[in-house]
Structure 1
Amino acid sequence: MRIDKYLWCVRYYKTRNIATEACRKGHVKVNGESVKPSKAIFNQEKITIRKNQINYKLEVLDIPTNRVGAKLVDLYRKDITPAEEFEKFELLKYSKDYYRKKGAGRPTKKDRRNLDELQNE
């Protein structure tokens, strides 16, 4: 089975077209190498997916015949993503809260003074 179709079947991507684009952009690696969307996937291969700034790692257990339900996904893949990846994502969410929201306008004098205080400390 093609890698893009596999990722769509096990519900890592909502559409097959999105899975294909991820492969073309180099977000999908099989056994440490970037792959084309047409790469054939087999049992026991390790896949790394970069999605939403998290590096998901999974092992292929079996090849589904078509898209499977969310409850059956664990029959076809084993998620071996380290817990540190999710912790990094949590820290990233907290760091984003500090910055100004998009469309909030230019920084005010008070914002500039606060930045100057931080730089001078």
Structure 2
Amino acid sequence: MQDRAGVAVLVCDPDGPPIATERDALDLVGAAFLGATVVAVPATRLDPSFFTLGTRFAGEVMQKFVNYRLRLAIVGDISTYLERSGALRALVAESNRHDQVWFVPDLAALDDRLRATT
């Protein structure tokens, strides 16, 4: 757990296990209950199916965080996936307009978003 811009954030280790199932997402939700309001997940930990919207995995993961009233930040370069999918570009743009799920390039950008919302 880290204090980032005055917000308790569970910053997941980039070398941790992959997030490939709904159960993996729920494990992160459970870990956040130790006091975090935001979970920052390195994009590299997400199974590639997350970025293929037809699998519905991204929606399932994002919905888990919404249901438990936790913010989710996907941190890292996802440009390769964005180049291949207009639907993913639209999802990222729409998510970043709101306050529940963010796609940010790095933790500094997450800090900027957090400062803007507090």
TM bucket (normalised to shorter chain) is under 0.3
Greater RCO, CA 8 A, separation 6+: 2
Compare the two structures and name the one with the higher helix fraction: 2
Q: TM-score, normalised by structure 1?
A: 0.25
Q: Kindly name which structure, 1 or 2, has the bigger radius of gyration based on alpha carbons.
A: 1
Q: TM-score, normalised by structure 2?
A: 0.25
